[in-house]
Amino acid sequence: MNGELATAEPEKLRYRLLHVAARITRTARRTRVAITASWPWADALTSAFTKLTALPRPTG
């Protein structure tokens, strides 16, 4: 992990996540988050979501 948010405190991460310029849309099978491209942290948040979806699902 690299970049400014790699070593960010939880408060900073919460602030940026809660103040995202995005729209959540739902269809029958999928939930999507459309992040505004001009938002300052769009790339960081998009890459974080991509990394989260690449993780294997927990078994149990």
Instruction: Walk along the chain (60 residues) and give the pLDDT tens digit of each residue.
Output: 567 777 878 888 788 777 888 888 999 888 888 888 888 888 888 888 888 889 998 887
Residue 58 lies in a domain: no
For 40, half-sphere exposure in the C-beta direction (CA atoms, 13 angstrom radius) is 6
Amino acid 33: pLDDT: 84
Residue 20 lies in a domain: yes
Domain carrying residue 29:
4-53
Residue 21 lies in a domain: yes
CA dihedral 5, 8, 13, 19 (to 10 degrees): -70
Tell me the two tokens of residue 24. Answer: 């959540």
Amino acid 57: pLDDT: 87
Amino acid 1: pLDDT: 57
C-alpha–C-alpha distance, residues 39 and 30, integer Å: 23
Q: How many domains does the chain have?
A: 1
> From its phi and psi, is residue 3 left (phi > 0), alpha (psi between -120 and 50) or beta?
left
Residue 45 lies in a domain: yes
Amino acid 37: pLDDT: 84
